Amino acid sequence: LRLLTKDCNQTGLENYRVSSCSAMEKVPRMNASTGPEWDSVQIKISQDGSAVVVNVAWKLRSDGSFRAIRGSEINVRDENTNQSACEQIHFSVKNMENSKEERWTFSLDVVAEPKHTYTITVFHFPEPDVGHYRIVNQTTVPGPGCKDARIKNSRLCQENE
């Protein structure tokens, strides 16, 4: 299972870096942010055309808790193989909206296999010591695989015709 990190660095985003996952300490609820909000989950071809990807996008909520956010953690599990991958995107923001006056939006591509089901979980850190502020989406890459219009032109599908 492979995550294709997009460069999520944006004007106004501070302390941006990407890392593998490590345990994060939990903080009292009043010092934590609310969870993210789904923007979209799409199945498409990677930018170089070589692979099928699940593109996951999420937004920061429009509330005052954005000041507490230190980043997002993304966990992906392939339900067919039980493989998983995790990535943390570290950042901080001073304003609720970016320079385009839109809510902050982040995205990540996951290399996917036709007919596989993926469970994707996103949360902000630090996490609260009580409460559940994770968003979860289960996405199935379509079968019969390469016959699907969204992915049939990928190199993977073209080579397997």
pTM, rounded to two decimals: 0.81
Write down the pLDDT at residue 68: 81
Domains and CATH numbers, the chain: 2-150 (2.60.40.2160)
Cα–Cα distances in Å, from 56 out to 32, 37, 50, 112, 143? 23, 11, 18, 12, 20
Cα–Cα distances in Å, from 110 out to 17, 20, 57, 82, 91? 19, 15, 11, 15, 21
> Comparing 58 with 131, which gets the higher pLDDT?
58
Please write the tens of the pLDDT for every residue from 12-40: 777 777 788 887 778 888 888 888 888 98
Please write the tens of the pLDDT for every residue from 123-161: 888 888 887 777 777 776 655 567 778 888 888 778 876
Cα–Cα distances in Å, from 45 out to 107, 110, 134, 135, 155? 15, 11, 27, 24, 9
